[in-house]
Chain A
């Protein structure tokens, strides 16, 4: 319990209890691994986004037949690929694309998952039943294959179609999680109180219940972001992710499908693999730390 210092004599109200955000931050600072991951992640992202901003994307994508598959050198820090393109430049642009697109997918799935989860959990009954059966069904589909088929049959495949196809299959987990939390939350009297005060359903869902489930949404968002970077690059690795015009980390790794590249030209695929590993691990460590912090706060 927080100390309740008498604030009356100060005239102005003073906030004694730290807000949820501050508490999580305090917990994070104590966790050295999470803090290190956070700093590493932020510096990578800052570097990648500013470098990609300065960089000439066309220059990076230009094929140079005189410099095919060169090992790392001063001129090409991470060597060149089969088209003589600078791997380092592609790594920068690929990281930016992978992160941006994964972020978009995570954001969209979060919005859809949040809305369906709130609606199903809040109204319950038949609505909940129908939504849950749909979710159960989508979850038990062979998702990878469906995505690959959709990617193949969609005419004029763009980044946006990729994001939408991914969203179509990956909103379900979030919806299920949020629904279960909302189902517990709506039993609390404050929801009934809002109903007797004449507050409309949508306001109760988004302004009353939502703040109470927001911490798990944030944790889930972060963990999903990491997962989506992996999913996106895996699909791109297979050749069914981002269109050619948008190189991602998966594009660089996909060169390793050629055994010769995998065995002898490690500089093409290894840096991108390490980049994905580092990003996913550090995002996960940050997410786990926040999760522990919010769990600890709920325990009090």
Chain B
């Protein structure tokens, strides 16, 4: 069952200039991206910084206004809904932010932070609200007694768990996780990732997982879309992307993954050089004259590549 369908969305930011601050050009942050999310799966958007992956995620929750294209959630077109009309869907689509330090209001107690969505959507008594908050705190592995603490009293990993608890309280169907572990210590990353997977099973969540760490993406995602300069260059199952990359950019991305075994290291360096060479040579066949990637073309049932 298709939960979310994104069709050819574009997010352009105006560049103003000249004497009267008129719009002289646009930054094409997202430039025609389409993908579908099936219920219960984890879809990964991967790419280097500035590739438009975060912008795509934020456009779905309407933190950025879409310039063109449609976003359909459970068959409902969300693209041009007003703030008020969007409100009921806020419950179903939630977001986990990248930076656990700035995504929690430093002046608010944990109780107020986690209860914020409840207060927006439900009418519950103060005691009940506290009970719900404590229950979610416990679920994310924090001491339920810490509801009166402030964010600065927690570590980065704990803060991210608070952020996750906050996004869970409305029992959403889709969670957009915008690089949820990239600001955390490596030792904590695995913890949080496994925990996100546990939650997925427990609450039947669908994830749109935005990231740049290929190891993390591989660990988490069923299907992956590779973004480059605001466009998808390749899409497929984890297997497709990691074992059989077709687009020259994907290949280069994969070659950049560091290998931990010392034996393979020399081989890896050679491979990387080879791919870089190939990239230079084949650049014009994979990108059009403006350096823009072509539209995706299916090469198997699950695998699509941007080819001319």
Chain A in direct contact with chain B (Cβ < 8 angstroms): yes
Most chain B CB within 10 A, of A2, A192, A195, A197, is at A197
- What's the minimum C-beta distance from A204 to chain B, rounded to whole angstroms? 10
- What's the minimum C-beta distance from A138 to chain B, rounded to whole angstroms? 22
Task: Flag whether A208 is at the interface (Cβ < 8 A).
Answer: yes
Are B148 and A13 touching (Cβ within 8 A)? yes
With an 8 Å Cβ cutoff, the count of chain A residues facing the other chain is 26
Task: Flag whether B116 is at the interface (Cβ < 8 A).
Answer: yes
Are A13 and B145 touching (Cβ within 8 A)? yes
Are A189 and B148 touching (Cβ within 8 A)? no
Q: Please report which residues of chain A, range 178-221, place their CB below 8 angstroms from some CB of chain B when the two chains form the complex.
A: 188-190, 192-200, 208, 211-212, 214
Assembled-state Cα–Cα distance A16/B149 (Å) = 9
Give A contacts to B, CB under 8 Å. Answer: 2, 4, 7-8, 11-13, 15-17, 188-190, 192-200, 208, 211-212, 214
Pick from B107, B117, B147, B153: contact of A211, CB below 8 A.
B107
Task: Flag whether B38 is at the interface (Cβ < 8 A).
Answer: no
Given contacts A4-B153, A188-B102, A211-B108, whether A198 and B91 have CB atoms under 8 Å apart is: yes
Are B166 and A189 touching (Cβ within 8 A)? no
Given contacts A17-B152, A198-B120, whether A193 and B145 have CB atoms under 8 Å apart is: no
Are A199 and B116 touching (Cβ within 8 A)? yes
Further contacts, 4 of them, CB under 8 A, given A17-B150, A192-B97: A12-B145, A16-B153, A197-B90, A212-B105
B119 to chain A: closest residue by CB: A199
Contacts of A12 in B (CB 8 A): 145
Give me 7 A-to-B residue pairs in the complex whose CB atoms sit less than 8 angstroms apart, sorted by A's number: A4-B153, A189-B99, A190-B104, A195-B62, A197-B120, A198-B90, A198-B117
Contacts of A199 in B (CB 8 A): 116, 120
With an 8 Å Cβ cutoff, the count of chain B residues facing the other chain is 36
Given contacts A13-B145, A190-B103, A212-B107, whether A196 and B87 have CB atoms under 8 Å apart is: no
* Interface Cβ pair total, 8 Å cutoff: 78
Contacts of B148 in A (CB 8 A): 13, 15
Contacts of A15 in B (CB 8 A): 148-149
Q: Please report which residues of chain B, range 134-175, place their CB below 8 angstroms from some CB of chain A when the two chains form the complex.
A: 143, 145-150, 152-153, 163, 166, 170
Given contacts A2-B153, A4-B153, A13-B147, whether A196 and B105 have CB atoms under 8 Å apart is: no
Q: Please report which residues of chain B, range 54-113, place their CB below 8 angstroms from some CB of chain A when the two chains form the complex.
A: 58, 61-63, 87, 90-91, 93-95, 97-99, 102-108
Are A193 and B95 touching (Cβ within 8 A)? yes
Are A8 and B107 touching (Cβ within 8 A)? no
Contacts of A214 in B (CB 8 A): 107
Task: Flag whether B121 is at the interface (Cβ < 8 A).
Answer: yes
Contacts of B62 in A (CB 8 A): 195
A187 to chain B: closest residue by CB: B102
Assembled-state Cα–Cα distance A204/B147 (Å) = 21
